[in-house]
Structure 1
């Protein structure tokens, strides 16, 4: 059974006891905890260990960020810490982030905010933080456009209670959204059904009160709706077809102004857009055959109704 993987990111030294407890808590919840110091991260031989951690973040479904008083090691000698880069990776991949900050560090952060513009700001000593970059990191989290909640904790019990509530809310939100999604889906199905009925009634009215040419045009469109070549030409090459166009152009090559290019690849390949319209020989032969069959079917219908192709071109 697949279970959610939870990446725990924090400075390793001052929060070791917290990380050990949170690992036990996550596993006890039935989830899989991912902590770098416990060997949970795969360090590929061709990757820097820091990049391996970022790769592991991408494979997780939740991200727990714990900010303490130690800034931690820098990411590959860059200006930001490894923890900071792991957080940014989670945000980039739209992974839910649950951010927690030690209460003492949170308090020092407000002191920093009040004094950062003072002339002697650099000389201020913050007893609970070894680097003011921690406060910039906190600001980065709380000023994010979304997923920017931060919870100040005193001990592990605070963390446990917070995560339990947040994960329960996450589950509730998922269930409610699933119900709403079903309601929207049901509504679209009702609209689709109503649209089909309207199209059917409109067609019946046209068949009963319209002229002969209009009735034939409706029958031609019915035939084209079930044709694979019509869908392929529109979906891949953006070519819109009408009964008059199909009747008027005797082959798919003429239709495409002889701009079909056969590539050398094997299989049933076809590229988007054009001209030139590129496809494999197998796909070209298939489209050519389908187009010919469609055109012959429309011509047969006109013949049965004793309508010439020339006259049919002017039908609107």
Structure 2
């Protein structure tokens, strides 16, 4: 029996639980094994910590889907994004349109004239808890980064990208050659 493709869904959780539940069910219905910390299905070895376990999950997944909601959280999601890029995992990102807007607005404050990121930060608000979500977006936008405003737009993107699991399996086999 062929094992299921493991897709890691990496995102902050707080405030997006029902959206993540819907995404999980869509991907499972296509035949994927969905790995996400919200579900508690990331193995944490004895003596390890959640961050190390999440980064190991990135190493072990076949595909990576990063979702940028307007909440930063603990920073583990940011490190998962970096790890997926470092390992050159097949990856897709979706980002809330507020983050694109915030990036354009904050760029002048976040970057020096030479284009390098400076230490600019903001105080946490109910609208945006950290400008580091923009840093996550800057990682993601080097790849395909689909904007969304509501969850149905994420569903359409996921359906388009992942409905044909046999095609994704073939692409992964060809990538290994």
Question: Same fold by TM (over 0.5)?
Answer: yes
Q: Contact (CA 8 Å) 1:108, 1:128: kept in 2 or not?
A: no
Indicate yes or no: 2:45 matched with 1:50: no
CA distance in structure 1 between the partners assigned to 2:122 and 2:37 by the alignment: 35
TM-score, normalised relative to structure 1: 0.47
Partner of 2:161: 166
Output the CA distance in 2 between the equivalents of 1:25 and 1:48. 29
Q: Deviations over 1:116-142 (max 9, x none)?
A: 469xx8679987422111112211222
Structure 2 counterpart of 1:190: none
Secondary structure of the structure 1 residue equivalent to 2:156: helix
* Corresponding residue for residue 134 of structure 1: 133
1:68–1:2 distance in 2 versus 1, CA, 3 Å: same
Runs of 4+ in 1 over 3 A off after TM superposition: 114-118, 121-128, 167-170, 172-175
SS of 2:154's partner is: helix
The partner residue of 1:112 within 91, 99, 106 is 106
- Of structures 1 and 2, the larger Rg is shown by 1
1:6–1:149: structure 2 CA closer, same or farther, 3 Å change rule?
Answer: same
* Distance apart, 1:32 and its partner CA: 0.7
- Check whether the contact 1:108–1:126 (CA below 8 A) recurs between aligned residues: no
Displacement, 1:35?
A: 1.3
User: Residue in 1 aligned with 2:91?
Assistant: 97
Change (3 A) 1:64 1:113: same
Name the structure 2 match of 1:210: none
Deviations 1:61-115 (A, max 9, x none): 1111111111111xxxxxxx10011112222222111111111222222111245
Conservation of the 8 A alpha-carbon contact between 2:66 and 2:81: yes
Q: 1:116 to 1:91 in 2, by over 3 A?
A: closer
Q: Please give the residue correspondences for 1:158-197 in structure 2 after superposition, counting only pairs within 5 Å.
A: 158-167=153-162, 171=167, 174=170
Whether the aligned pair in 1 keeps the contact of 2:64 and 2:89 (CA below 8 Å) is: yes
Shift of 1:167: 3.3
Structure 2 partner of 1:276: none
CA spacing shift, 1:46–1:6, aligned 2, 3 Å? same
Equivalent of 1:155 in 134, 150, 153: 150
Instruction: Measure, in 1, the Cα distance between the counterparts of 2:99 and 2:138.
Output: 13
Partners in 1 of 2:168 and 2:62 — Cα distance? 16
Matched-pair contact (CA < 8 Å) for 1:9–1:66: yes
Root-mean-square deviation (Å): 2.9
Structure 1: how far apart are the matches of 2:109 and 2:24?
Answer: 37
Q: CA deviation at 1:58?
A: 1.4
Deviation at 1:165, TM superposition (A): 2.2
- Structure 2 stretches of 5 or more lacking a match? 113-119
- How many residues are aligned here? 165
- The answer as to whether partners of 1:104 and 1:128 remain within 8 angstroms in 2 is no
Q: Secondary structure at the match of 2:92?
A: strand
Q: Which has the higher contact order (CA 8 A, sep 6+)?
A: 2
- Offset of 1:168 from its aligned partner? 6.0
Shift in Å, 1:172: 7.5
Corresponding residue of 1:87: 81
